[in-house]
Structure formats: C-alpha cells, structure tokens
C-alpha cells in the first residue's frame, strides 16, 4: 500500500480523498493555486505545494507542475479527483514514465472512452446500444445544418472533449443548429482546448441514468447499481439519487451487464461510470463513459456501503476487489443535492464572494436517516470566479425514497449560507414538488416545471399560519430577553398582551395567545385562523436556525434579522415578517410603499463575468430575441438577448472587460 499520495485537485473532492486516505493511514499532499492558498484542502492535507497562478490553465491543468510536486514530496501515486487532469491520457502516461502510479484507469481506457466520438465508435463495435447520430467531425455551420437535417430534429450538438454541460446545445431548427454549433465550439475551445463537436439525435423526455462500475487489474469487474441524474439545468446535474425510481430489476441488470462488458473490452481498471439516456419505454442508449470518480459517487456509497475512493486506491496498489457481483446489494435510498454559488432568482447565474456564514447541518446517523456533507469550504472562505461554483454536496440516506427526500428537506432547511447567493431555496422547493416526489422525471424537468425561471415560493394558508407562529415566537423570546436584562431601567409589568398581528409580505395575520405566559424554552398555545396549536422551541436570539414543533409537526427554519423584523426561510419560501400590536398594524397599513427603480432601459450584467462580445452598435435597431452581448462566467458563455424591440443608445462596456453584477453594459433609447 502507498505511504503517500498527491491529490491533483481542489475543493470538496480533494477534501473527500484526503478523508479516506487518512482513514487508511496514507499521508496526503495537496496542491494549490494563488486563489486557493487558504483553502480547506490545503489545511487538511499533511503537506501542500504551490503550483501557480489562479487560472486553472496555469496551475491545476499543468501536468509538469503536478509531477514536480510529486518528486518534491516523494508522493508515490496521484489521485486526480474529477475534472482538471482526471481524464487526460497524456497525464496518466507522463506519470507512468516517471514511475508514479495514477489512481485511475490506464491510458488505453482513457483514450478509448474519454473522447465522445471515439467512445461511440468503440461502443458500436462492442455491440452497446448507442443513440443515432453522426460520429464524424463537423467542419462548419453548413455541415452541421446538413447533418442535423439527415438525423432529424431535435438534435444535440456536443463537444467531443466535453463534460459538465459545457460545449453542449440542443437545436430544434436550422437557425438553432447554426447558433448552437458556434456556441458549442467556442465553449469547447475555451474549456477544453479542443473545438471538435459532433451531432446526435436528441431523445425527447429522456432520463439520465448511469451505472457505476469498479474493476481491478486481475480481470474482475462489478457494477454497483445505478444513479438517476435526470434533474439537470443547462445539462449540469443538480440532484442525483440511487437507485432510480424508474428502473425495474431486468433493466438494471441489462444496463449493468452491458456496462461491465464495455469496461472489460477496454481492460478498465478503477472506478468508472457508464452513462445512458433512457426513454419512456425503458430503452437505454450509451451516452459516454466517464473514466474517473463522479461528482455524485456518494449516493452509491450510501446504498452499497462501499467506499469508492478506497477501492480506487487499493486497485491502483494492485489489490483484487474484495467482493463479487453476487455480494453487491442495494440498501435503502440516497439523495444528493448540489449546493451551488448561483442566484436561483436570476436564472441561476453564478455568484461569487466570501462566505460570511457557513453552518451545514450536523452529519451522522439518526434512528431513521443519515446526513453526509461533502464540502471544500468553511466560514470565511471565498467562492472564486476561477473555478466551479460548487459549495457542497449534501447527501441523505433513508430506508425509502420519500423518507430520504424528507430527510433532505429538513437538512436543507437547516443549512445556513450567507455572503453569496446560492441555490438552496430552489433545492428546498424541489423536495416538496409533487412531480419530483412521485419520481416522474426527465432531463427537461427544470425547464418544464419552471419555464419562466424559479421564483420565490408563495406560502399557502397553512404555511402562512406556521410562519406567523415562528415569527411571533421569536419576537416573544427576544422581548423576554430584553425585559430580563440586568441594566434595564424600567421592566415591563402586567400580563402579556393577548392579541398580535404578524405581517408577512403584504398580509396581516391575527394571532392570539390565550394563556399569555412566556417560558424559556418557549411552549405556549397560539390561535391562528380559528385553530389553536401548541408551539414549542428552544430557539434563542442570535440562533441562525429555528427548530421546534407546531401542532405536533417538527419544523426547521432559518432566521435572519432585518430592519424591524425577521426574514424566515423554509422549504423554498423566503418571507420578511414583522410583529405588531393591533394598533401598530393599523398605522403600518398607512405607510407608503417604496417602488424599485425602473431599469427597463438598461442592459445590466446579470453576474460577475467577462465580456466576450458586444453584438450591436450605438444607434442600431434591435428586434426581440436578437443577441446584445455575450458574458462568460465560470467557463460558461451566457448570451444576453433583447426582451423587446429597441434602439441601442449608449454602450458602456467593451469586449475583454470584467464586470460586476448589475454593471450597466448598455443603455437603450
């Protein structure tokens, strides 16, 4: 077994590998760029080596710097994580040449499966089901249009060296093929240094289901069940689960055996994933093979009890797999939610900045569930514009799917992140979505269920009553604390007022306290909407999370102080609340409303990013839907289009400029 390994990665996956290596008694070496000097993976590792400037192309993607770090520290092997150099055969070969072990497959398998075009040719030869398409290189937009017409719309345009949703576009018409081809090729060039793209048939209502395989150097290959990855946005996975609610045992077995056959055909060694798209009739088609550890591997670990990172290390050290296919059993259900630094209310555009508060839920096992949080950040850490916007991967396990979803919803409600925008409200709302809970999924789920983007969830009558109770309980506890302060000049006296009004948004909710006594921890009856409920909580002023019961129902919500009130976040709902006496509420209703400024004549930068192109000129007439500018953020190109017919007045930005969020790109006449 290795005595020391180097992790050629950063963020949560570097921390994840370090945890397993530490448990195995293996020393670890971290590498870091200028931007990651104070990162968590650097702190966790036994040693750390600086490898260059912040841009990945000058640090994490430079193989020579990784090899030099191995020689400097005496690391015997390299775990690449995912992304960066994890699927670069030349890196694997360079390590072998230096006598350093690559904790992953051999160059032959990486080359055969790493290129999407070549992998499909290989899969066809191995008699694996593949999607109809054109596997050759597309020369230009005219060629793309001709091929798409032959295949039949809709088609998928994909970067040959792509991954993570980059360099990928769906086209439903000739015009979309031309535009999609240019965008896919441009993204592929900037993200992977390879602008080759290919075209294949797009399966309508597809599910994205993948099979986890594990192989050693002695010819043993097993599959560890499947993962459902259909909840995607812009072809980027958001929520994954294991097993899939859609597969039956026969389909699972067929997909698994086909995946094992493909792995054996390329003499695969290590953990790998064979991805399929599955149609509504459970027909499955080979998509690609990822010759590395997947982001979503924890859900497989939770349902099989197998540590995939440990097995990768043991296989690389020459050990045999300690189990056979007959030993693999799927136990219970696991869900993974990817917490991203992005604004769900601005079409999920990236958000960067410092984590002023980062309080994940408690990890571990309870009577009914397991909570696991894979992360690479800490309170005070910075989310950089140079790398992937992932903050954490929150996972839950339970005996059944609905129990795992409920556990996930509660864990999300208690996960506090401040300082940046993030997709927690969307993830929390998703856990309550009827279609998700029923398992009626497809890769178009988000686009279909949120066609106009995600908006704040409006509470119904029952939810409003619960939020009112939480708001009033916090107000009573805070008042009680003030009343008991030792230096207070004149404490309040008399009985507690019975009638209160809680303002939620523009609604005024009457709440009565029939008993009129405050105890700490708080337990009292409240009358809301004609019903009496008992509220119990041990919340204290300053606590970020409110945990308690209302009418026997357990609730977990987040509490943030705002001017003269509280903001409560719960199940994707975010409301501002104020607690009034009846007379104060009457006066509040007379207060004028402050309207937001009119920005209809401005094009604002929707996220911090780099201006790639300005597509119009001053004085130009533009039709609705035409491109105004292209802004790149976190390696994704975002096309900003005109929402209506307009005339360009003044252009304030130029290509190459870095802009902050809401910076004015151009003004309209």
- E strands, 363-463, are 364-365, 370-375, 382-383, 390-398, 416-418
How far does CA 406 lie from the centroid of its chain? 19
Return the percent helix, strand and coil in the chain, to nearest 5. Answer: 30, 35, 40
DSSP of 288-318: EEE-S--TTHHHHHHHH---HHHHHHHHHTT
DSSP reduced 3-state for 393: strand
SS3 125: helix
In angstroms, rounded to a whole number, what is the distance separating the alpha carbons of residues 559 and 544? 5
Question: Which residue pairs, CB below 8 angstroms and at least 24 apart, start in 142-149?
Answer: 144/177, 144/178, 144/181, 144/197, 144/199, 145/174, 145/177, 145/178, 147/199, 148/174, 148/177, 148/199, 149/174
Handedness of CA 345, 347, 353, 359 (dihedral sign): positive
Rounded CA gap, 512 and 499, in Å? Answer: 5
Distance CA(615)–CA(186), nearest Å, equals 16
What gap in Å lies between CA 296 and CA 283, rounded to an integer?
Answer: 23
Cα–Cα distance between 229 and 209 in angstroms, integer?
6
Instruction: State the CB neighbour count (10 A cutoff) for residue 610.
Output: 15
Among 87, 228, 241, 288, the active-site one is: 288
Token pair for 637: 């190109």
Q: Is 288 a catalytic residue?
A: yes
By annotation, the residues acting in catalysis are 288
């Amino acid at each position: 077994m290795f005595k020391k390994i180097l992790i050629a990665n950063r963020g949560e996956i570097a921390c994840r590998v370090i945890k397993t290596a530490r448990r195995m008694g293996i020393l670890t070496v971290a590498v870091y760029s200028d931007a990651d000097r104070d990162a968590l993976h650097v702190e966790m590792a036994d040693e750390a080596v600086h490898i260059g400037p912040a841009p990945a192309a000058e640090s994490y993607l430079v193989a020579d710097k990784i090899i030099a770090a191995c020689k400097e520290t005496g690391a015997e092997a390299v775990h690449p994580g995912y992304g960066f150099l994890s699927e670069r055969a030349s890196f694997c070969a360079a390590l072998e040449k230096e006598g350093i072990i690559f904790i992953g497959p051999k160059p032959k398998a990486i080359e055969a499966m790493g290129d999407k075009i070549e992998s499909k040719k290989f899969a066809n030869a191995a008699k694996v089901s593949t999607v109809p398409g054109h596997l050759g290189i597309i020369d230009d937009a005219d060629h793309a249009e001709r091929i798409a017409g032959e295949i039949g719309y809709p088609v998928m345009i994909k970067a040959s060296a792509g991954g993570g949703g980059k360099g990928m576009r769906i086209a439903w018409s000739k015009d979309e093929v031309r535009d999609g081809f240019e965008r896919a090729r441009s993204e592929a060039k900037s993200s992977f240094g390879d602008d080759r793209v290919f075209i294949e048939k797009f399966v309508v209502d597809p599910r994205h289901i993948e099979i986890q395989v594990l192989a050693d150097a002695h010819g043993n290959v097993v599959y560890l069940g499947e993962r459902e990855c259909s909840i995607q946005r812009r072809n980027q996975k958001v929520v994954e689960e294991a097993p899939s609610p859609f597969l039956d045992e026969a389909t699972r077995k067929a997909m698994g055996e086909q995946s094992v056959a493909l792995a054996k055909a390329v003499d695969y060694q290590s953990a790998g994933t064979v991805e399929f798209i599955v149609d509504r009739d459970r027909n499955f088609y080979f998509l690609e093979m990822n010759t590395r550890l997947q982001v979503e591997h924890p859900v497989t670990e939770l349902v099989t009890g197998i540590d995939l990172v440990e097995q990768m290390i043991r296989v690389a050290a020459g050990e045999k797999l300690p189990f056979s296919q007959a030993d693999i059993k799927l136990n219970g259900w696991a869900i993974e939610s990817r917490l991203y630094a992005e604004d769900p209310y601005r079409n999920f555009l990236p958000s960067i900045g410092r984590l002023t508060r980062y309080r994940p839920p408690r990890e571990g096992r309870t009577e009914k569930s397991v909570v696991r949080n894979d992360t690479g950040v800490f309170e005070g850490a910075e989310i950089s514009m140079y790398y992937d916007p992932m903050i954490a991967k929150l996972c839950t396990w339970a005996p059944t799917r609905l129990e795992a979803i409920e556990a996930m919803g509660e864990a999300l409600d208690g996960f506090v992140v401040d300082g940046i925008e993030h997709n927690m409200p969307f993830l929390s709302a998703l856990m309550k979505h009827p279609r998700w809970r029923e398992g009626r999924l497809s890769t178009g789920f988000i686009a279909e269920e949120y066609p106009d983007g995600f908006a704040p969830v409006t509470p119904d009558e029952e939810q409003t009553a619960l939020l009112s109770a939480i708001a009033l309980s916090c107000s009573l506890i805070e008042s009680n604390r003030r009343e008991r302060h030792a230096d207070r000049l004149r404490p309040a006296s008399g009985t507690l007022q019975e009638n209160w009004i809680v303002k939620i948004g523009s609604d005024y909710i009457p709440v009565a306290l029939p008993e009129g006594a405050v105890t700490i921890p708080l337990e009292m009856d409240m009358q809301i909407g004609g019903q009496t409920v008992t509220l119990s909580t041990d919340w204290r002023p300053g606590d970020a999370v409110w945990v308690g019961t209302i009418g026997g129902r357990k609730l977990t919500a987040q509490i943030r102080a705002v001017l003269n009130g509280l903001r409560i976040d719960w199940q994707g709902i975010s409301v501002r609340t104020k607690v009034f006496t009846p007379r104060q509420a009457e006066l509040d209703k007379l207060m004028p409303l402050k309207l937001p400024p009119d920005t209809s004549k401005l094009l604002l930068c929707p996220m911090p990013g780099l201006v790639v192109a300005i597509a119009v000129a001053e004085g130009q007439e533009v039709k609705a839907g035409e491109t105004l500018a292209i802004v790149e953020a976190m390696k994704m190109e975002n096309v900003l289009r005109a929402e209506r017919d307009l005339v360009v007045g003044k252009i304030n930005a130029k290509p190459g400029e870095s802009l902050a969020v809401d910076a004015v790109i151009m003004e309209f006449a």
